[in-house]
Structure 1
Amino acid sequence: MKIEKSKTQSERKIWLWLCISINLGFLGIFKYYNFFATSFAELLQGFGLTASPILLKLILPVGISFYTFHGLSYIIDIYCKRIKSEKNFVDYSLFVSYFPLLVAGPIERATHLLPQIKVRRKFKFEKAKEGIYQIVWGLVKKVVIADSCAIYANEIFDNYSTMNSLSLILGAIYFSFQIYGDFSGYSDIALGTSKLFGIDLLKNFNYPYFSRDIAEFWRRWHISLSSWFRDYLYIPLGGSKGNKLFQVRNTFIIFLVSGFWHGANWTFIVWGLINALYFLPLLLLNRNRKNVDAFTLGFNIESIRILFNITTTFAITALAWIFFRSKTITDAYNYIIRMFSDLQFSEQYFRIERYSHNLIALILVFILVEWNNRHKIEPISGKYSWLKLGLCLAAIIALGVFSDYKEFIYFQF
């Protein structure tokens, strides 16, 4: 409100930066203070100096990164005069703390969510049915796919020094599907739950593992975060204006900040850097906006090229996920070195008393279903929808009872 009532541009900027500083200050104290303190102490130790940093024993609020960005978008949109400040405290509080998206997104915009909150809504059966379909499919992704993959991924990453190349490759693939099923599953549950209340949230995933290059992947993965960084950081930095060096600088800033947003660990920063390096050739060759159209496959050379590009994009994405999953950079480095040096490709029997082939079959079925659903709004709707709904519920119950993994990965962010 102070920003909106300011009479001069300089006064508006003062209030803007004050609000941004307060929001980022809370995020920094809770999430990053200990990281910076310990990193600085380790740096001093490298020069032979002893340091004993004072660390804070704080419990990280669930989803703090998400609702901090909700609040920042509201402040910046007021400053840019895209919206007016909300006078109703209840409506504003609901926007910031709207429960379906509170802990793991999607990261909503005030321009999109606030108008829906302020209007009177009536229950619509068709919309509620869409929501139920999306909730159930989200649970399938989480319980059937993510939790099943987590059991194997945890076993392999925690014991990578005893694993052969095949198991390490499978570990990277399992975690790739774990994080996709876990995060996109939560997003589907959030979007479906919101539809029951007559509110449409921003779409957060658009079948990212069918991307033909890394630029397309980031247009399809965690869409609300990618678009947030584009609108509130990349464009204010100058975006694609200026020379290539300027564009490269902005791109690296975005990816490094994105990595740091995910967690106070150097592994996340390296993960962001790797994705920036993946993106760099496309940017330099002006090919980062090449694959924006839909595609179909047939029996021709072009389809083979598309499948090769999809497979390659998934492979390099899974390689980068190793840093995201590992506890330290050293662990990630040793994991990758062993994966490419062991060169044994025999099936291993894990301590969890299971082989991999059952899970591989499950992932292949999931890929086929996702491919079939990629142009649908509600994945299990349409012909035989009630039968598909029953089968999905049976799978959720069957695998949910025996699953050893329950947490959502993005709750830590």
Structure 2
Amino acid sequence: MLFNSIDFAIFLPIVFILYWLVLNKDLKIQNLLILGASYIFYGWWDYKFLSLIILSTLIDFSIGLALKKETQNSRRKLFLWISIIANLGFLGFFKYYNFFLTNFIEAFSLFGSRIEIASLDLILPVGISFYTFQTLSYTIDVYNKKLEPTNDFIAFAAFVSFFPQLVAGPIERAKDLLPQFYIGRNFNYNDAVDGLKQILWGLFKKVVIADNCAKFANLIFNNSDDYSGSTLVLGAVFFTFQIYGDFSGYSDIAIGTSRLFGFKLTKNFAFPYFSRDIAEFWRRWHISLSTWFRDYLYIPLGGSRRGTLGKIRNTFIIFIVSGFWHGANWTFIFWGLLNALYFLPLLLTNNNRNNLNVVAYGRTFPSLRELLSILITFCLTVFGWIFFRANNIEHAFDYILTIFSRSLFVVPNFANMKEALMVIILIIFFVFVEWNGRDREYAIETLGKKRKFKYLLYYVLVFMIIFFGSFEENQFIYFQF
């Protein structure tokens, strides 16, 4: 079920009314409703994949109980590895089987041998990368005795499948979200209103910014041989705003929806395109994934404590694995490698934590140095997104070679240029609102606090969604991951 669909527009009020007006007296029944609603929400795509998420839930719930009872370290480690292998096994089979098979066959063909192995017609279960990491956080934290395992299967199952963030995050840690299922929840009007505001802003990002940018990003990337270097730059910029509007828009809707039901989710984006270096960008982009890899991979590998070579090794591992997490394509691995190369100089010179505060905090405009830093970081990010969006590595390099040709200096030209100019104006408006709200949880959190401007802002956003939004029920980009 898509957030930007009629189905969800009907589904959400029904669940909300049942949750607060019918079943508000019993916490267990509320949790059971959330679980049932989450399975309906997830099964809307393909009910057959419900068995996979239920199996993953059963495995990790059982492992948690086993870890609680077991005191012998070797057996506890065995239980942990059962969870890791089972969860990553599901993920690896559905997401990477054909990738490894294809590359295995191609590797042998280099030596003159030909192997005939049939690939499988696999459909990637929506959200598997997200809920796999979510359940793994539970098992790992229980193993490390950072979290007490739960005896409440309904609460645990609802935590794993919680519908607002099930298919595209944020990736919630068990220690943060699971305890919220144990505590009675009372309706809070202010939280609900704030949640609706964040949903509105997320919907604007998706249907007005992301989906409109997608039209031209897809047109230009899919026909890149036909366009000039300047047009390809524009295509890369369109994709840059498409992926941010799409993914952060989903996170905003997820967080806002959760607030309607009395839950608080992790902030997943913190205005990353205003970052002054790549290290700051990765502290602000897909925060839940970045911190997951930091805590469960980078630090266990030794983090920055293993000397210079250890730092370099661990940095490349974390970024390449992050790239590979996004999909079974060499473009994602190269994108991760490129970001590691961006990040490494900052790490080795101990400048990776220079920009921890909000840019131009308390000021309307950034300084010239801040502005230049933002622009350089943005350009590096746009360049990286080319590999992320390209069909394959060859396509990415051809795209870049065309950009760095003489045609870079001609005026961009492609079909529907007038419509594209309108999208650019929408992007400028979007950047302006984001800049004004860059020190908040989301851009319009406090915008329009003065009563006479508040409803004007809402009317403007609703107007723009109705008149400029795309209502073709386009899937969110990160559903494929």
Q: 1:12 to 1:123 in 2, by over 3 A?
A: same
- 2:388 corresponds to: 324
Q: 1:386 to 1:377 in 2, by over 3 A?
A: farther
Q: Give the Cα–Cα distance (whole angstroms) in 2 for the partners of residues 279 and 124 of structure 1.
A: 42
User: 1:133·1:379 contact (CA, 8 Å) conserved in 2?
Assistant: no
- 2:55 corresponds to: none
Q: What pairs with 1:136-285 in structure 2 (closer than 5 Å)?
A: 136-285=200-349
Q: Give the Cα–Cα distance (whole angstroms) in 2 for the partners of residues 297 and 121 of structure 1.
A: 35
Q: Which residue identity does 2:256 align to in structure 1?
A: G
User: 2:270·2:441 contact (CA, 8 Å) conserved in 1?
Assistant: no
Shift of 1:242: 2.1
Which of 397, 401, 407 matches 2:466?
A: 397
Which of 68, 78, 85 matches 2:132?
A: 68
Q: Which residue identity does 1:392 align to in structure 2?
A: L
DSSP 3-state at the match of 1:356: helix
Q: Deviations over 1:371-401 (max 9, x none)?
A: 0011233533422222211211111121235
Q: Give the Cα–Cα distance (whole angstroms) in 2 for the partners of residues 404 and 161 of structure 1.
A: 28
Q: 1:10 to 1:274 in 2, by over 3 A?
A: same
- 2:474 corresponds to: 406
TM-score of the superposition, structure 2-length normalised?
Answer: 0.83
DSSP 3-state at the match of 2:214: helix
- 1:291 corresponds to: 355
Identity of aligned residues (%): 55
Q: 1:373 to 1:302 in 2, by over 3 A?
A: closer
Shift of 1:283: 1.1
Number of residue-to-residue matches in the alignment: 412
Q: Give the Cα–Cα distance (whole angstroms) in 2 for the partners of residues 327 and 47 of structure 1.
A: 26
Q: What pairs with 1:353-392 in structure 2 (closer than 5 Å)?
A: 354=418, 356-380=420-444, 381=446, 382-383=449-450, 384-392=453-461
Q: Deviations over 1:188-226 (max 9, x none)?
A: 000000000010000000000000000000000000000
Any gaps of 5 or more consecutive residues in structure 1? none
Q: Give the Cα–Cα distance (whole angstroms) in 1 for the partners of residues 370 and 361 of structure 2.
A: 8
Q: Give the Cα–Cα distance (whole angstroms) in 1 for the partners of residues 260 and 473 of structure 2.
A: 28
Q: What pairs with 1:73-112 in structure 2 (closer than 5 Å)?
A: 73-112=137-176
Q: Give the Cα–Cα distance (whole angstroms) in 2 for the partners of residues 351 and 51 of structure 1.
A: 45
DSSP 3-state at the match of 1:107: coil
DSSP 3-state at the match of 1:66: helix
User: 1:133·1:378 contact (CA, 8 Å) conserved in 2?
Assistant: no
Shift of 1:241: 0.5
Q: Give the Cα–Cα distance (whole angstroms) in 2 for the partners of residues 87 and 218 of structure 1.
A: 36
Indicate whether 1:37 and 2:75 are aligned.
no
Q: Give the Cα–Cα distance (whole angstroms) in 2 for the partners of residues 76 and 128 of structure 1.
A: 33
Q: Give the Cα–Cα distance (whole angstroms) in 2 for the partners of residues 82 and 39 of structure 1.
A: 40
Shift of 1:356: 3.3
User: 2:247·2:476 contact (CA, 8 Å) conserved in 1?
Assistant: yes
Q: Give the Cα–Cα distance (whole angstroms) in 2 for the partners of residues 271 and 345 of structure 1.
A: 26
Q: Give the Cα–Cα distance (whole angstroms) in 1 for the partners of residues 435 and 118 of structure 2.
A: 51
DSSP 3-state at the match of 2:409: coil
User: 1:211·1:313 contact (CA, 8 Å) conserved in 2?
Assistant: yes
Shift of 1:171: 0.8
Q: 1:103 to 1:330 in 2, by over 3 A?
A: same
Bigger mean CA offset, 7-16 vs 46-55: 46-55
Q: Deviations over 1:289-313 (max 9, x none)?
A: 11112332799x9811110000000
Any gaps of 5 or more consecutive residues in structure 2? 1-64
Q: Give the Cα–Cα distance (whole angstroms) in 2 for the partners of residues 295 and 361 of structure 1.
A: 24
Alpha-carbon RMSD across the aligned residues, in angstroms, is 1.8
Q: Give the Cα–Cα distance (whole angstroms) in 2 for the partners of residues 305 and 53 of structure 1.
A: 56
DSSP 3-state at the match of 1:306: helix
Q: Which residue identity does 1:212 align to in structure 2?
A: R
User: 2:277·2:374 contact (CA, 8 Å) conserved in 1?
Assistant: yes
- 2:43 corresponds to: none
User: 1:152·1:174 contact (CA, 8 Å) conserved in 2?
Assistant: yes
- 1:18 corresponds to: 82
Which of 50, 69, 75 matches 1:5?
A: 69
Q: Which residue identity does 1:407 align to in structure 2?
A: Q
Shift of 1:354: 4.2
DSSP 3-state at the match of 1:250: helix
Q: Give the Cα–Cα distance (whole angstroms) in 1 for the partners of residues 455 and 360 of structure 2.
A: 28
The structure showing larger relative contact order (alpha-carbon pairs under 8 Å, at least 6 residues apart) is: 1
Q: Which residue identity does 2:71 align to in structure 1?
A: K
Q: Give the Cα–Cα distance (whole angstroms) in 2 for the partners of residues 125 and 234 of structure 1.
A: 41
User: 1:130·1:378 contact (CA, 8 Å) conserved in 2?
Assistant: no
Q: Give the Cα–Cα distance (whole angstroms) in 1 for the partners of residues 260 and 366 of structure 2.
A: 42
Q: Give the Cα–Cα distance (whole angstroms) in 1 for the partners of residues 232 and 206 of structure 2.
A: 22
Indicate whether 1:121 and 2:185 are aligned.
yes
Q: Give the Cα–Cα distance (whole angstroms) in 1 for the partners of residues 149 and 79 of structure 2.
A: 13
Q: Give the Cα–Cα distance (whole angstroms) in 1 for the partners of residues 385 and 216 of structure 2.
A: 15
- 2:399 corresponds to: 335
Shift of 1:11: 1.0
Q: Give the Cα–Cα distance (whole angstroms) in 2 for the partners of residues 319 and 404 of structure 1.
A: 29
User: 2:131·2:171 contact (CA, 8 Å) conserved in 1?
Assistant: yes
Q: Which runs of 4+ in 1 moved over 6 A?
A: none
Q: Deviations over 1:264-322 (max 9, x none)?
A: 001000000000000011111111111112332799x9811110000000000110000
TM-score of the superposition, structure 1-length normalised?
Answer: 0.96
Q: Give the Cα–Cα distance (whole angstroms) in 1 for the partners of residues 338 and 387 of structure 2.
A: 9
Shift of 1:7: 1.8
Shift of 1:53: 2.0
Q: Give the Cα–Cα distance (whole angstroms) in 2 for the partners of residues 407 and 83 of structure 1.
A: 35
Q: Which residue identity does 1:396 align to in structure 2?
A: I
